[in-house]
Amino acid sequence: MIKQSALQPSKLSRGLLYFFLPVLGFIFAFPLLALAINSLQPINTTFAFFPTNFRFENFKSAVELIPFGKYLVNSVIITGITVILQSFISAIVGYAFARKKAKGKTILFFIVISTIMLPGIIAQIPTYVLFNKFGLLNSFLPWVLWGLGGNAFFIFLYRQFFAGIPKDLEDAARIDGCSSLSILFRIFLPISIPVLITTSIMAFNNSWGGDYLTPYMFLQEDKYPLVTALIQIGYVMPGNPGIKLDQILYAAVVMFVVPSVVIFIIGQRYMVDGFVNSGIKG
């Protein structure tokens, strides 16, 4: 029998852990910290690693020099469509794969999962040509259609979680007269909150700041989300486009990343539970 002390980490390993965790944490947080520092620097100063001045008016200028609010609303619309549709459509498909009986279901599931390995950029040009022929460019309808298609990884998470729910719970609901959708929305989803929050956070991050190229291809400037506008338009001196206002851009980026950081901090515990309860469950 293995002694309990043999399973416990040694003082040396704990010491190394306590040393490297803050170091790695600082390394990963340093780019964001440097960005925040330089967002407060005077305009046209060199990049600094330590604060030398605090010009909070840079944030005001970031909102006023471009239609910041319009681009922000566009981001909210695109992100909202993506989060809501991908999360719930993936839940419906995951439920079907986990609980429904059909010929070829396993093969179809592996085909869906195999699409995770395909880079999204592969379908960009064919999708652009297709949507152009149907007159769907410069609208948010492509994001609705993509949302209705779900997300292969989200489908996998839901399927794994739903497969572990006792069948007796579903049978009891059917005896009470519940349909499949009623069972999904009234029983399965309420007990799969960690997975629902996990998929929602991932969909938010992927849509909010993870993809600037797709809106650039499919939308005109007035419908750009904020991430695309900051990259493609940026900030220049009024009356002198040759002078770039990098510090103003840094301030805008700081405001842009705040929602992602806040949402991740709030939902990180649920994300861990979501992966543990679904991703590794057989």
Compute the distance between CA of residue 247 and CA of residue 235 in angstroms, rounded to an integer: 9
Are 147 and 249 part of one and the same domain? yes
Examine the fold and report which residue of 32, 60, 88 is the final residue of a domain before the chain moves on.
Answer: 60
**What's the half-sphere exposure (Cβ side, CA atoms, 13 Å) at 165?**
22
- Residue 122: the pLDDT is 84
Q: Which two tokens stand for residue 143?
A: 């994001």
As for how many domains the chain has, the answer is 2
Are 149 and 248 part of one and the same domain? yes
Are 181 and 197 part of one and the same domain? yes
- Residue 276: the pLDDT is 61
Are 42 and 108 part of one and the same domain? no
- Full domain range(s) for residue 15: 4-60
Are 18 and 128 part of one and the same domain? no
Q: What is the pLDDT along the chain (282 residues), one digit of tens a residue?
A: 445 455 555 777 777 777 778 888 888 888 888 888 888 888 877 777 777 778 888 899 999 999 999 999 999 999 999 999 999 999 999 999 988 888 888 899 999 988 888 887 888 889 999 999 999 999 999 999 999 988 999 999 999 888 888 888 888 888 888 888 888 888 888 888 888 888 999 899 889 987 888 999 999 999 999 999 998 888 888 877 778 888 899 999 999 998 888 888 887 777 666 666 654 443
**Is the four-CA dihedral 172, 174, 177, 182 of positive or negative sign?**
positive
Are 140 and 258 part of one and the same domain? yes
Are 209 and 268 part of one and the same domain? yes
Are 189 and 252 part of one and the same domain? yes
Are 19 and 92 part of one and the same domain? no
Are 163 and 213 part of one and the same domain? yes
Compute the distance between CA of residue 34 and CA of residue 266 in angstroms, rounded to an integer: 23
Are 189 and 245 part of one and the same domain? yes
Indicate which CATH number applies to the domain containing 220: 1.10.3720.10
- Residue 90: the pLDDT is 94
Are 235 and 97 part of one and the same domain? yes
Q: Which two tokens stand for residue 63?
A: 């909102």
Compute the distance between CA of residue 75 and CA of residue 229 in angstroms, rounded to an integer: 10
- Of 207, 68, 230, nearest to 142 by C-alpha is 207
Number of H helices, E strands in the chain: 14, 2
DSSP string over 237-267: ETTEEEEE-HHHHHHHHHHHHHHHHHHHHHH
